[in-house]
Amino acid sequence: FPIAAGSVLSDIQHVWIGIGATALVGVYNLMGGINFVGGLITGVSESPIVIVLLMMAILFVLGAFLDWVGIALLTMPIFVPIVKSLGLDPVWFGVLFCMNMQMSFLSPPFGPAAFYLKSVAPPDISLGDIFQALLPFIALQAVALAVMLCFPQIAVY
């Protein structure tokens, strides 16, 4: 039963993250914050790819500290209208989001996948060893993300 109890607690945490993020985005939207942040992001450059790279960087940094559900609820109301206004495919951006979140699952300091691996690894393997071993996988995912950025047709084929 401890596994079931842990998974229920995780589900309850996800619900509260969802409620909190939705409330925050709702109030933020009412106060014009989404338009303000959207203007800041689009004001960085005229190039759509630079704007998307900025969004990916924001997602990667947030992914180091937050759960993907909270990130999606906090950023998608801001990012998706920007992506649409740039004339980009929202499905492509969704694939980029998922790939970025997968990278954040492996990267320190949070890296939940590393903690899952530590829980099943022999005791003589440290968390530092696991993070070091994950670096090639993070690099491969960064290359895949770069390919997806350069060739959006792959995501929507």
> What are the φ and ψ backbone dihedral angles of 130, each rounded to 5 degrees?
-65, -45
pTM, to two decimals: 0.75
Compute the average pLDDT of residues 140-145.
93
- Considering only CA atoms, which of 109, 95, 108, 105 is closest in space to residue 144? 95
Is a pLDDT exceeding 70 seen at residue 36?
A: yes
Query: What was the pLDDT predicted at 124?
Result: 92
Q: What is the mean pLDDT of the chain?
A: 83
Give the whole-angstrom CA distance, residue 125 versus residue 144: 28
The 10s digit of each residue's pLDDT in 52-64 is 999 999 998 888 7
> What are the φ and ψ backbone dihedral angles of 47, each rounded to 5 degrees?
-80, 125
Query: What was the pLDDT predicted at 18?
Result: 75
- Considering only CA atoms, which of 91, 82, 94 is closest in space to residue 49? 82
Q: How many other CB atoms sit within 10 Å of the CB of residue 42?
A: 16
